Structure 1
Amino acid sequence: MRLIIAEERWPIAGSFTISRGSKTEAHVVTVTLEVGSHLGRGECVPYPRYEETVPQVMAALAAARDRIEAGITREEAATLQLPHAARNALDCALWDLAAKRAGQPVWQLAGLPEPKPAITAYTLSLDTPEAMGEAAARAAERPLLKLKLGRDGDAERLRLIRRNAPRSRLIIDANEGWTPDTLDRMLAACADVGVELVEQPLPAGNDEALRSISRAVTVCADESAHGLDTLDRLVGKYDAINIKLDKTGGLTPAIALARAARARDLGIMVGCMLATSLAMAPAFLLAPLAAVIDLDGPLLLKEDRSPAIRFDGSLMQPPPPALWG
């Protein structure tokens, strides 16, 4: 087995802003595993919020080269001391390689339902209320809009967005930008305009207020939700969790997390970091298990890799086998 590690930069169409800051490119790491004529690939996004960086992930993978190239299995890969993003790229590359060698799709090998076309959320980057209202008008034909909030003026943002996109379903990502003192008021403002779900309204280390607050809107854990080890502490605070492969450490633990969440009556959202179709492809296999799909990363880039997942507006098609899986 030959390991190839690569760093890639994919420009964003404009900029992408959340409560923690802005970026103009998707900075990703890819893993390629080569065995004979077969190639398996995976992509990850090291995320500073989780104390992971591109150089750190590349160095960790390089340090594990000998074990990987000896013919590592998915079970063995899970025991490596790697950043979660690195483990994700490796795990997904191993799944892709297994599919290519077996001549079977990953969904069959993993015992998952066959993926079907599904609606993904389309994200509106955080901006002034007026600018977000204008962006909503341009995206008003999309059935599901995800709004990045988490700063002063969020109630006005909600009002203008709903006015300009009256038929779209709305979900919110506050990216830990609200406080316990503003939570009641902001959840009420969300309910007033028909928001269906709010992601991570409070900081991950300061979310106990969610245990005692009543709400008419589903509250979903993102920064508070990682792997199975974090799941039980979310019960009673959150109604759903956002599963991202860069947080779980790959498709293998993401499948286990999704099944465990359903057993605890937690709803499932499948999400992504800002990345290309190669990162969306394995996450899309969780779509049949999820109530909300947020895999619009490629739609926010200037260009995607080829071959790529096809998006018919917001309708996301299953990934082509030549891309992954």
Structure 2
Amino acid sequence: MNPGSGGIELSVRREALRLTETVRSSRGEIDSVDTCMVAIAHDGIVAYGEGTPTDYAGVTADDVVGAIEAHGAELIGRDLRDPEHVLDRIERWDAPAGARMALDGAVHDWIGKAARQPTWKLLAMPRTLGPTVYTIGIAGPDEAASAVRNAPAVGAFKVKVGGPGDIDALEAIRRVTSLPVRVDANEAWDLDTARALTPHLRRLGIQLIEQPFPTAAIGDYHRYREIPDRLPVFLDEGCTDAASVLAAQAYADGIVVKLCKAGGIRGARRVMEAGRRAGLEVMLSCMCESELAISQAAQLAPLADHIDLDGHLYLREPPFHGLGLRDGHIVLGEAAGLGVVPAR
């Protein structure tokens, strides 16, 4: 791409991210994920953004790429001298959230590079974030314990669960770590399962449950709140944008915020601020994504109660480099912009 000053050049591509191992959840198994990478060149600067499709909502990488190819150049405009207005247009764009996420990320990268500083420094935020978690997929007891022993040095674990059979795996995990553990059911439970498992989860010191019931099973969420000594419930699939936070206030304790649901840094900030106003705890999370997308999300870390930014830790051939991990905390890159650079 030629980063000359004659207007703006935009390119977009679909990229497969291969994982170091198969990850199992109640939704199935994955060993690779497709994402969308965008680059904008303007005024001698090349900036990058990543947009992740929400495949569980039926959005594909082709949908994200197609939206950007069709309308991205028009949204960015002819120059970036007023990036706030560009970000306003992107936020209002009626397109898949992953498409907005990619363009929003590239503009934030350009802002930092134009100032010759890391974007996090322009936002007056700390370089070190966390501690973050590491996710353990559904597995038998021996495999789950081994995964914890071989995990990076993180500050907590999230364990994917699907039903009563996962208690044995959680028991094995507890035998090999004293770090905080939370569970993520990805909508797989019903109320009877939650009732039966809650005493065991309490005994094991489980911190919270992400999305235990299907999004539409609002009655189960309300009835679970009546169970004595229940665990805190955080909504992921059930809370996508600022408009959905108000409803979440009535039957959840916290929300899981992801850029791929909210449409980028701008949209995610609005969701987090809405969660704060509603008295909900806020978890900043991700999908399996590269260091570029994780760096986009990390710009919002000071607004979160919990940091769940581990998607880049599973990649076999990372397309971007620059993030660090020290004593369980994410360390942002010092390069101008979002702090990461292409690996090739």
CA distance in 2: counterparts of 1:113 and 1:70, whole angstroms: 29
Which of 267, 275, 279 matches 2:281? Answer: 267
CA distance in 1: counterparts of 2:151 and 2:118, whole angstroms: 34
Aligned partner of 1:147: which letter? Answer: V
1:187 matched to which residue of 2? 198
1:299 matched to which residue of 2? 313
CA distance in 2: counterparts of 1:293 and 1:142, whole angstroms: 11
1:12 aligns with 2:19: yes
Aligned partner of 2:68: which letter? Answer: L
TM-score by length of 1: 0.92
2:88 matched to which residue of 1? 75
Conservation of the 8 A alpha-carbon contact between 1:271 and 1:295: yes
1:176 aligns with 2:190: no
Tell me the CA shift for residue 278 of structure 1: 0.2
1:227 matched to which residue of 2? 241
Which of 106, 111, 114 matches 2:119? Answer: 106
Q: Which moved more, 1:137-146 or 1:47-56?
A: 137-146
1:248 matched to which residue of 2? 262
Provide closer, same or farther for how the CA distance between residues 185 and 323 of structure 1 changes in structure 2, counting only shifts above 3 A.
Answer: farther
Cα RMSD of the aligned pairs, angstroms, is 2.0
Tell me the CA shift for residue 323 of structure 1: 6.5
Aligned partner of 1:68: which letter? Answer: L
Conservation of the 8 A alpha-carbon contact between 1:18 and 1:148: yes
CA distance in 2: counterparts of 1:252 and 1:140, whole angstroms: 30
SS at match of 1:231: helix
SS at match of 1:127: coil
Aligned partner of 2:100: which letter? Answer: R
> 1:160-190, CA deviations, whole angstroms, 9 ceiling, x for partnerless residues?
211222x111011111111112111222221
2:105 matched to which residue of 1? 92
Conservation of the 8 A alpha-carbon contact between 1:41 and 1:93: yes
Aligned partner of 2:170: which letter? Answer: L
Tell me the CA shift for residue 216 of structure 1: 3.9
CA distance in 2: counterparts of 1:112 and 1:248, whole angstroms: 23
2:150 matched to which residue of 1? 138
1:283 matched to which residue of 2? 297
Conservation of the 8 A alpha-carbon contact between 2:100 and 2:263: yes
1:123 aligns with 2:130: no
Conservation of the 8 A alpha-carbon contact between 1:122 and 1:314: no
Unaligned residue ranges in structure 1 (runs of 5+): none
Length, aligned pairs only: 323
SS at match of 1:181: helix
Aligned partner of 1:49: which letter? Answer: Y
Question: Stretches of 4+ moved more than 6 A in 1?
Answer: none
Conservation of the 8 A alpha-carbon contact between 1:2 and 1:69: no
Tell me the CA shift for residue 121 of structure 1: 0.0
SS at match of 2:157: strand
SS at match of 1:40: strand
Conservation of the 8 A alpha-carbon contact between 2:283 and 2:308: yes
1:197 matched to which residue of 2? 208
2:175 matched to which residue of 1? 163
TM-score by length of 2: 0.87
CA distance in 2: counterparts of 1:302 and 1:159, whole angstroms: 29
Aligned partner of 2:90: which letter? Answer: A
Aligned partner of 1:188: which letter? Answer: P
Conservation of the 8 A alpha-carbon contact between 2:26 and 2:186: yes
Conservation of the 8 A alpha-carbon contact between 2:108 and 2:337: no
> 1:27-86, CA deviations, whole angstroms, 9 ceiling, x for partnerless residues?
110111111211221112212211110111111111104413524701011222210111
